[in-house]
């Protein structure tokens, strides 16, 4: 029932920007948790950013603070990840993910998220 559809990935040069979108269906954004993760082949999936919908509380990985911004558009039932000043180290497959209980949002691990988008490749060249 809950589905997440991602868009906005692509290839950019270092210093460029991309915006990823995660359009949700099967539920209305309001009191839950949506997050962005990324994964490099052979490495553990890394939490990038997360947002408590409704309240709007956010958290970020140290590696992206000041460069990435997670936001929500309740009318469009969509969460975004604005990525600025991209670095080659940001190259990865990016996923959005859903957790239904807002109070667990900031502490949940990747294994706790119940629904995932299909993944969008972001490639940053130097």
pLDDT average, residue stretch 6-14: 97
Which SS3 state, helix, strand or coil, does residue 62 take?
helix
pLDDT given for residue 13 in this prediction: 98
What is the predicted pLDDT for the residue at 51?
A: 97
Tell me, what's the pLDDT at 106?
A: 87
pLDDT band at 111 (very low <50, low <70, confident <90, very high): very high
Sort 105 into a burial class: Cβ within 10 Å, 0-12 / 13-18 / 19+: buried
Distance CA 20, CA 10 (A): 10
The overall average pLDDT reported for the chain is 95
Give the tens place of pLDDT for each residue, 50-107: 999 989 999 999 999 999 999 999 999 999 999 999 999 999 999 999 999 999 998 8
């Amino acid at each position: 029932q809950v589905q997440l559809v991602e868009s906005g990935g692509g290839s950019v040069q270092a210093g460029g920007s991309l915006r990823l979108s995660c359009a949700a269906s099967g539920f209305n954004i309001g009191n839950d948790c949506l997050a962005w993760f990324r994964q490099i082949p052979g490495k553990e999936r890394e939490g990038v950013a997360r947002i408590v919908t409704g309240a709007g509380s956010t958290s970020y990985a140290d590696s992206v603070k000041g460069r990435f911004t997670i936001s929500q558009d309740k009318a469009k039932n969509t969460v975004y990840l604005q990525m600025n000043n991209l670095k080659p180290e940001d190259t990865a497959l990016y996923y959005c993910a859903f957790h239904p209980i807002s109070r667990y949002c900031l502490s949940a691990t990747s294994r706790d998220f119940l629904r995932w988008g299909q993944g969008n490749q972001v490639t940053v060249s130097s």
